[in-house]
Chains A and B, each alone.
Chain A
Amino acid sequence: MISFGKPLKIALGLIVIAGLIIVPMNFNRYGLFILSQWAVMTIAAMGLNLTLGYAGQVSLAQGAFVGIGAYAAAVMTTHGWPLPAAIVVAIVLSFAVGWVLGYPALRVQHHYLAFVTLAFSTLAFLVFRNESWLTGGIYGISNIPRPHIFGFATNKPLPFYYVCLGSLAIVSLAVWWLIRSPWGRAFMALRENPLRAQSLGIDTRRYTLMAFAIGSALGGIAGGLYAPLTQYIDPVPFNLSLSLDLLMMVIVGGAGFYFGPFLGAMIAVLLPEWLRFTEGYYLMLYAVAVMLLLIWSPTGILGILDRYLAERRTKAASALRAVAKSRLETVQ
Chain B
Amino acid sequence: MKSTLLAGALLAFATATSVHAQAIKLANVAELSGGGATVGTNWKNGIDLAIEEINAKGGVLGRKLEVSHADSQSNPGVARAQVQKALDAEPYVLLGPGYSGSVKVTAPLAAEAGIAQIMGGEAAELTQAGNKFLFRTSFGQQSSMPKVAKYIHDEMKAKTVAVVWVNNDFGRGGRDVVVKELDRLGSKVVADLSTEAGQADFAADVGKIKAANPDAVFVYLNEEESARILKELKRQGVTAPLMGETTLIGQKVIELAGDAANGARGHVGLTTDAPVDLIKAFREKFSKKYNYVPDHNGLKGYLAVYMVKATTEKMGKVDPKKFADTLHGLTIKAADEPGILMDVTFSDTGDIDRQSFLVEVVEGKQVVKQVLPKVK
Residues of A that sit less than 8 Å from B by CB: 28-30, 33-34, 37, 129-130, 137-140, 142, 226, 229-234, 236-237, 273, 276, 279-280, 282-283
B88–A280 touching, CB < 8 Å: no
B76 touches which of A28, A233, A273 (Cβ 8 Å): A233
Query: B88 near A230 (CB under 8 angstroms)?
Result: no
A231 touches B167 (CB 8 A): no
Which residues from 65 to 101 on chain B have a C-beta closer than 8 Å to any C-beta of chain A?
A: 69-71, 73-77, 80-81, 84-85, 87-88, 100-101
In the complex, the answer to whether A28 meets B88 with C-beta atoms within 8 Å is: yes
Q: Which residues of A contact B125 (CB under 8 A)?
A: 139
B35 within 8 A of A: yes
What are 24 A-B pairs with beta-carbon distances under 8 A? Answer: A30-B84, A30-B85, A30-B88, A33-B84, A37-B77, A138-B101, A138-B168, A138-B169, A138-B172, A139-B169, A139-B173, A142-B104, A142-B105, A226-B77, A229-B77, A231-B80, A231-B105, A232-B105, A234-B76, A234-B101, A236-B74, A276-B71, A280-B32, A283-B73
Binary contact track B108-142/A, C-beta < 8 Å → 1, others 0: 10000000000000010100000000000000000
Do B88 and A236 touch across chains, with their CB atoms under 8 A apart?
A: no
Task: Give the residues in chain B near A28, CB-CB below 8 Å.
Answer: 88
Supply 15 further A-B pairs (C-beta < 8 A) apart from A29-B88, A234-B76, A234-B169: A33-B84, A129-B167, A130-B167, A138-B168, A139-B125, A230-B77, A231-B80, A231-B105, A232-B104, A233-B76, A236-B101, A276-B70, A280-B32, A283-B33, A283-B71
Known contacts being A139-B123, A230-B76, A237-B75, is A30 close to B105, with CB within 8 Å?
no
Flag if A230 contacts B33 (CB, 8 Å).
Answer: no
Give complex CA distance A229, B80 in Å: 10
Q: Count CB-based A-B contacts (< 8 Å).
A: 69
Asked if A232 contacts B84 (CB within 8 A), the reply is no
A175–B85 alpha-carbon span in the complex (Å): 33
Please measure, in the bound complex, the distance between the C-alpha atom of A97 and the C-alpha atom of B181, giving whole angstroms.
41
Listed residue (B77, B125, B173) with the most chain A CB atoms within 10 angstroms of its CB: B77
Question: Given A33-B84, A283-B33, are A138 and B77 also a contact pair (CB < 8 Å)?
Answer: no
Interface members, chain B 32-87 (any A CB < 8 Å)? 32-33, 35, 69-71, 73-77, 80-81, 84-85, 87
Whether A230 contacts B169 in the complex (CB less than 8 A), given A142-B104, A282-B71, comes out as: no
Are B76 and A139 touching (Cβ within 8 A)?
A: no
Q: What A residues does B108 contact at CB under 8 A?
A: 231
Within 8 A of A (CB), among B133-172: 167-169, 172
Give every chain B residue within 8 A of A30 (Cβ-Cβ): 81, 84-85, 88
Residue among A229, A230, A236 having the largest count of chain B Cβ atoms under 10 Å: A236
Q: What chain B residues lie within 8 Å of A29 (beta carbons)?
A: 84, 87-88
Q: Which of A28, A34, A138 has the most CB of B within 10 A?
A: A138
Residues of the B chain whose Cβ atoms lie less than 8 Å from the Cβ of A280: 32
Which residue of chain A has its CB nearest to the CB of B88? A28
9 closest A-B pairs by CB: A30-B85, A232-B105, A30-B84, A28-B88, A234-B101, A230-B77, A138-B172, A138-B169, A33-B81
- Give bound CA distance, A34 to B77, whole Å: 10
Closest to A40 in B: B77
Q: Judging by beta carbons under 8 Å apart, are A37 and B104 in contact?
A: no
